[in-house]
């Protein structure tokens, strides 16, 4: 257990990775610099009372990719490098290998490097829906996007069927791109639908190289 104070730097971009952190409470801001000497960092997101961070440097033996600063007092739970690698890494590698192969078949992610694709794979969360279950509802706030691993989903706009999506398709990115409410309802159309979800914080942090292509595909996506 680690008590942190407002303004405290938890990890610093470019440093070696020593710990993995799980948030008990508090708000933690994420800063990334594109300069070689890590000057002029820009805030790219925040963790608000929940989440975890610090795993990428431990998993890939890379320097810290971001700086995390506490903007409030808070409490973190800290796991050391050796414990993390022993307990977490084996499961994470199995999950990553499973998703990496799937993500290679997703058109929108072709511009990612293998390393970037691995990071996306690590951030994906598996979810399942039964037939006729509503996955996202038109007008709701968007907090994640989805990739279809198995099964089919129907898109409805204003209660009218628009199109059917299949394995390898994705949805839910429009609300995240445009910071607007969901533009359609998506319903599970097969007995068991397996999805991989990507939360908005990971979407913005990991899919930067794909954003332009996603914007270009927006109008085409809606017309199909």
Rounded Cα–Cα distance for residues 191 and 185 (Å): 18
Homologous superfamily of 2-83 = Jelly Rolls (2.60.120.10)
* Contact predicate 84/55, CB 8 Å: yes
The domain 106-222 having CATH identifier 2.60.120.10: the answer here is yes
Q: Quick one: which of 65, 58, 114 has its CA closest to 84?
A: 58
Percent of the chain with pLDDT over 90: 40
Residue of 79 and 94 predicted with greater confidence: 79
Q: Where are the alpha helices (DSSP H) in the chain?
A: 55-60, 81-87, 89-103, 114-123, 173-178, 200-206, 211-223
Q: Is 0.75 topped by the overall pTM?
A: no
User: Is there a shared CATH topology between the 2-83 domain and the 106-222 domain?
Assistant: yes
191 pLDDT higher than 60: yes
pLDDT digits (tens, 9 = 90+) for 53-85: 988 888 777 889 889 999 999 999 999 988 888
Lowest mean pLDDT segment, chosen from 21-30, 57-66, 133-142 = 57-66
How do the domains of the chain map onto residue ranges? 2-83, 106-222
């Amino acid at each position: 257990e680690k008590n942190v104070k407002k303004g405290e730097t938890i990890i610093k971009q470019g440093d070696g990775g020593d710990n993995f952190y799980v948030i008990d409470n508090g708000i933690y801001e994420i800063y990334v610099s594109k300069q070689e000497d890590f000057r002029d960092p820009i805030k790219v997101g925040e963790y608000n009372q929940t989440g975890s961070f610090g795993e990428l440097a431990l998993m890939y033996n890379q320097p810290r990719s971001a700086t995390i600063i506490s903007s409030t007092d808070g409490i973190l739970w800290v796991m050391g490098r050796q414990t993390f690698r022993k307990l977490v890494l084996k499961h994470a590698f199995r999950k990553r290998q499973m998703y990496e192969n799937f993500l290679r078949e997703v058109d929108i992610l072709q511009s990612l490097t293998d390393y970037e694709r691995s990071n996306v794979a690590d951030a994906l969360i598996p979810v399942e829906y039964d037939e006729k279950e509503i996955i996202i509802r038109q007008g709701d706030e968007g907090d994640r996007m989805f990739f279809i691993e198995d099964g089919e989903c129907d898109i409805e706009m204003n209660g009218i069927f628009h199109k059917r999506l299949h394995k390898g398709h994705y949805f839910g990115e429009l609300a995240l791109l445009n910071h607007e409410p969901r533009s359609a309802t998506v319903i599970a159309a097969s007995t068991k639908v397996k999805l991989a979800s990507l939360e908005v914080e990971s979407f913005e942090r990991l899919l930067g190289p794909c954003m332009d292509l996603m914007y270009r595909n927006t109008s085409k996506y809606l017309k199909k």
